[in-house]
Structures are given as C-alpha cells and as structure tokens.
Chain A
Amino acid sequence: MVYASLIFEFLKIGVFSIGGGLATLPFLYDLADKYDWFTRETLIDMIAVSESTPGPIGLNMATYAGYAAGGVPGGVAATLSLITPSFFFIILIVKILDKFKENKLVKSAFYGIRPAVTALIASAAIEILRIALFRTQDFIDTKNLSDILKYGNVALFIIIFYLIRKLGGHPVFYICGAAVFGYLLNL
C-alpha cells in the first residue's frame, strides 16, 4: 500500500529534517533508493520545478515526490504528513517559551541570536545577489571585467530598490512587476 508508506516516510522527514530549504533533499535521495516511486534523476527535475514555482521549496518537493509515488492523493498525503510533526513541536516549544519568557537567560540568549540570524540571512542575501546580478562563470572564462555584470538585471535591481524605499507597497506587486519586465525585456 503506497499511501501508508508515503505517510510513514514523510512523517519521518518532518521529524528529522532540520534547516529548511533543501534540508529534505538527502531524505528524498534515500526514498529514491529505497522505493521505485521516482529515480535520483527525476529528483533533479523536481528541484528545478520546486525552485521556480511559488511556495516553500521543502513543501513543493514533498508534494511533487508524493505525486510521483501516488498521484494527486499521494501529493496531498506527503505534504500533510510532512507538516504534521511541526504541529506538535510548535505547541511544545511555545509552552516552554512562555514558561521561561521572563527568564534572564532566555532573554540574553535571544539578544545574541538576533544578530547571528541577521548575519545568516545576510549571507543568503549575498548569494542571491551573486546569482541575480553577476555572471561569475563568464568572467572566469573570458577574464574580461566588462562581462562580470548582468547589466539588465542590475538596472532592474536599482529601480525596484528605489521604488520600494520610496513608495513601499506589497512585495507581491514587485514580484509580479519584475516577472512582466523580465518577460518583456528578455532578461
């Protein structure tokens, strides 16, 4: 019965995968070896689709893997099983946090965590900037400094940055606008 094993396997992933993004990937490789649901090659396709469609990658991959194993019900079963452990962990963690909220130790811990997490996201931001604005490989190939920037993307970056600072507004608006511009200008 494919659904029972799907539910069991994705509950397991929900309990053991820490760190988000592609943290579920090693588990999916394991599933590819263990069952005949999908192959390691199809997983690469799944990553591409999951990264280029809306939604958190981890959820997208689970839905896709579940679909590959058991059609639409498989996709639903995999996703719901993946998020079920979080339900219990969250309730437990909030109970513990509330108990120690005024504790000095917990307060100073969060005081130190905030800059560390900010640095974590900053390093992710640097990586995204590299991918979005620079063509590192072309530069390495040609050694020509004028090849290093994606000029269209840099221009769009500056425009969006200016508009968002000046006008504010909802991120969705800028995401959709950027998609239209990318399409129209062949970015």
Chain B
Amino acid sequence: MREIAEIFAVFFKIGAVTFGGGYTVLPLMQKDIALDRKWASNEEIIDYYAISQSMPGIICVNMSMLIGYRRKKIPGLLAAGLGVSVPSLIIILMAAMFLKNFLYLDSVQHAFNGIKVAVAVLICEAVLNMWKSGVKDWAGRLIFAVTLAIFACVEISPAYTVVAGALAGILIMRRSA
C-alpha cells in the first residue's frame, strides 16, 4: 500500500510541473523515475516514450501508466494514471472558474517567459541524456540524422518515425548479424 501511495505521489508531482506537450515530461521522468528511484533505466524511458506516442491516448498518461503497471500491476497502473491526471483537473478547474483573466496579466506573462526558458534548457538536457543512452554507434547516428532532416523538411506524424526507426533497426541488425 505504501508503494502504491508513493507511485501516486511521484506521478502527481510530475503532472503538476509538466508544461506543454508530451516530451516536456521527459526531463522529469529521467530525474524522478530513472535517476532517483531506478524504477526504469534511461533506455527504458525512451522505449516507453516511443510506445506511448505511437499508441492512442495522452503520451504522458500512457508513459505513467506503463511505468506504474511495471511496478505494481493494475493498482500501480491506476495510481500512476490518476496521479498524473489529478493536478490537471484541479489546476484547470480552478483556472476556468477563477483565473481566466489572471493569465493575461503582464506580470504573469513575464513569469511564463522565464518558465519557457527553463523548459528549453530541460528539453536540451533531456536530448543529451537520450543521445547518451540511445545513440551508440554509426548506425544510430545515421538514423538520428536522417530523422532530424526529414522532420525539418516535411510535416509527418511522429508515429511513422517510430515505425521507420523500427524497420531501420531490424534491417541493420540483420545485415550485421
């Protein structure tokens, strides 16, 4: 029971400080899940992210549920899924009820500008961490470069990237085997 409560608390904290889309959760997961608690390795975090963004649903919720399920089966899954969602519920309901105009205040905008910069640093850090644990040889660097180039030129769904990466991995491993 204590561990279920801890799962809920950890993901509650993550849900409360994520700003923006799915990938903004990565630096928090790397710190809270991989580094501090060893509930998953950095590599597993990347794998979970890949799975979560290629399946239906909210990326961050999917990732949390995956990690929760791995820890403590269905109770862990529920604790993680609810933990990461409840902050949104509380914050948005309060914002919708009381704070709508508050968000447009100049001073609040300045604070958000600062937050944007911090998030930019955190994402760069996350990419460096992912590079260290996920890109290990020339083939990896090639897949990285090609994917980045494609993303810079055309707008395609990230789900295709995962499929293409998987196919490339299978082809490369087969040739080198």
A contact face: mostly helix, strand, loop, or mixed? helix
Q: Mark B54-86, 1 if CB is under 8 A from A, else 0.
A: 111111111001100110001001100100110
How long is the Cα–Cα vector from A179 to B66 in the complex, in angstroms? 31
- B18-51 interface (Cβ within 8 A of A): 18-23, 25-28, 31-32, 43, 46-47, 49-51
A91 with B85: CB separation less than 8 A: no
Of the candidates A21, A128, A181, which one forms a contact with B22 in the assembled complex, judged by CB atoms under 8 Å apart? Answer: A21
Within 8 Å CB of A63, what residues of B? 88-89, 92-93, 96
Q: Mark B147-176, 1 if CB is under 8 A from A, else 0.
A: 110011000011101101111111011100
B170 with A105: CB separation less than 8 A: yes
Of the candidates A82, A175, A182, which one forms a contact with B110 in the assembled complex, judged by CB atoms under 8 Å apart? Answer: A182
The residue of chain B having its C-beta at the shortest distance from the C-beta of A165 within the complex is B125
Within 8 Å CB of A171, what residues of B? 17, 27-28, 31, 118, 122
Within 8 Å CB of B18, what residues of A? 54-56
How long is the Cα–Cα vector from A131 to B119 in the complex, in angstroms? 11
A83 with B89: CB separation less than 8 A: no
- What is the number of contacts between chain A and chain B, taking CB atoms within 8 Å? 348
The residue of chain B having its C-beta at the shortest distance from the C-beta of A104 within the complex is B173
B162 with A117: CB separation less than 8 A: yes
How long is the Cα–Cα vector from A131 to B168 in the complex, in angstroms? 32
Asked if B5 lies at the interface with its beta carbon under 8 angstroms from chain A, I say: no
A19 with B159: CB separation less than 8 A: yes
How long is the Cα–Cα vector from A161 to B123 in the complex, in angstroms? 11
Q: Mark A1-41, 1 if CB is under 8 A from B, else 0.
A: 00000000000001111111110100000000000000000
Shortest beta-carbon distance from A48 to chain B in Å: 7
Within 8 Å CB of A48, what residues of B? 103
Interface residues of A, CB < 8 Å — how many? 91
- Given contacts A53-B92, A55-B18, A183-B110, is CB(A109)–CB(B166) below 8 Å? yes
How long is the Cα–Cα vector from A53 to B158 in the complex, in angstroms? 25
A67 with B56: CB separation less than 8 A: no
- A95-136 interface (Cβ within 8 A of B): 97, 104-105, 107-125, 128-129, 131-133
- A49-90 interface (Cβ within 8 A of B): 49-60, 63-64, 67-68, 72, 75-76, 79-80, 82-83, 85-87, 89-90
The residue of chain B having its C-beta at the shortest distance from the C-beta of A170 within the complex is B31
How long is the Cα–Cα vector from A175 to B112 in the complex, in angstroms? 10
Of the candidates B19, B50, B85, B144, which one forms a contact with A54 in the assembled complex, judged by CB atoms under 8 Å apart? Answer: B19
Shortest beta-carbon distance from B31 to chain A in Å: 6
A114 with B56: CB separation less than 8 A: no
Of the candidates B53, B85, B93, B159, which one forms a contact with A67 in the assembled complex, judged by CB atoms under 8 Å apart? Answer: B93
A108 with B159: CB separation less than 8 A: no
Asked if B111 lies at the interface with its beta carbon under 8 angstroms from chain A, I say: yes
Within 8 Å CB of B81, what residues of A? 83, 86-87
How long is the Cα–Cα vector from A51 to B24 in the complex, in angstroms? 12
Q: Which residues of A contact B (CB under 8 A)?
A: 14-22, 24, 45, 48-60, 63-64, 67-68, 72, 75-76, 79-80, 82-83, 85-87, 89-91, 93-94, 97, 104-105, 107-125, 128-129, 131-133, 153, 156-157, 160-161, 164, 170-172, 174-175, 177-183, 185-187
